[in-house]
Amino acid sequence: MNIRSVVRGVGHYLPSRVVENKEFEATLDTSDEWIRSRTGIERRHFAAEGETTSQLAIKAAERALENAGMSVDQLDAIVVATSTPDYTFPSVATMVQAGLNMRQGFAYDIQAVCAGFVYALANANGLIVSGQAKCVLVIGAETFSRIMDWTDRGTCVLFGDGAGALILEAATGTGTTDDRGVLSTDLHSDGRYRELLYVDGGVSTNGQAGHLRMQGNAVFKHAVTKLAETAHTALEKVGLSGDDVDWLVPHQANLRIITATAERMQLPLERVVLTVQDHGNTSAASIPLALSIGAERGQIKEGDLLVTEAIGGGLAWGSVVLRW
């Protein structure tokens, strides 16, 4: 008997404030055309004053539960991927647990920046396969607008806020790649590249939230090679290839990175779920947002083979192969 972690429901939430590229023209030496041509981003959502990461996460979670037709009493655990928590502690996950009025189980956060949701999905799968949990709510939620340097046109136009949620439940599979659920995972990190993408603040350094700093060109080069490699590795682990993939659901950082990665995987853009134009880079929230919207659009259907992949600060990167 093979235990698989099967997707039962998805949901997402985006703050109401939509920020078009043109808004930046008033304060920065940039333009809508410049941003679109280099990133593919047209707009993004920003959280309202006082609107927190946990609040976004709770709304996405509620929608995922509704989509799954499940109640909070059926959950055993909550895993939240975020780099922009409400507080140093407690975890966002425990705040979501309280917000959902979930009295049982356990909840914790994972921090792997933009790769956070891939790490969280792999972690939740491990909980289910090992028998520690039968049903896990996995969330990616971020308010990156809170760590932007609004004078740095190379970073502040790239990011947005939002949350996406997915419910994984244990199911019996045959042990073949025809099974629904998570089929393989592949995770990596290399701490030598910290200076390429980091936030210049923290509890034990300067006691401040800090601002995001990035060497864009260097990150781009690492992203294209590492994302294609991890996707291939995850597929090879279960004897599959790019030809078997119905949808690539990548971290939505930059259209050029997504296009280059798809080309290396020999996948046409028609088989890539794209949301970067409307959301910008929402870090750990970007993959679950794309999964939820892809399902909502009718692109992702039951039985489809999906590959998700992401890279973020650390550097940390990885991929998950799953059958919807």
- Low pLDDT (below 70) residues in the chain: none
pLDDT at 308: 98
156 included as an active-site residue: no
| Cα–Cα distance, 309 to 227 (Å, whole number) | 6
pLDDT at 43: 98
Nearest Cα neighbor of 78 from 141, 15, 2 is 141
- Contacting residues for 24 by C-beta, under 8 A, at least 6 apart: 30, 35, 153, 156, 157
Query: From the candidates 12, 251, 254, 279, which is the catalytic residue?
Result: 251
Here the tokens at position 7 are 């997707």
The verdict on pTM exceeding 0.85 is yes
Nearest Cα neighbor of 306 from 317, 296, 320 is 320
114 included as an active-site residue: yes
pLDDT at 1: 74
State yes or no: cis peptide before 90, omega within 30 of 0: yes
**What separation, in Å, do the N-terminal and C-terminal C-alpha atoms of the chain show?**
20
Residue with tokens 């921090």: 111
pLDDT at 180: 98
CB–CB of 160/12 below 8 Å? no
Nearest Cα neighbor of 126 from 80, 170, 166, 179 is 170
Query: From the candidates 12, 114, 125, 135, which is the catalytic residue?
Result: 114
Here the tokens at position 314 are 């650390």
135 included as an active-site residue: no
Query: From the candidates 21, 67, 125, 281, which is the catalytic residue?
Result: 281
- Give the three-class secondary structure for 43: strand
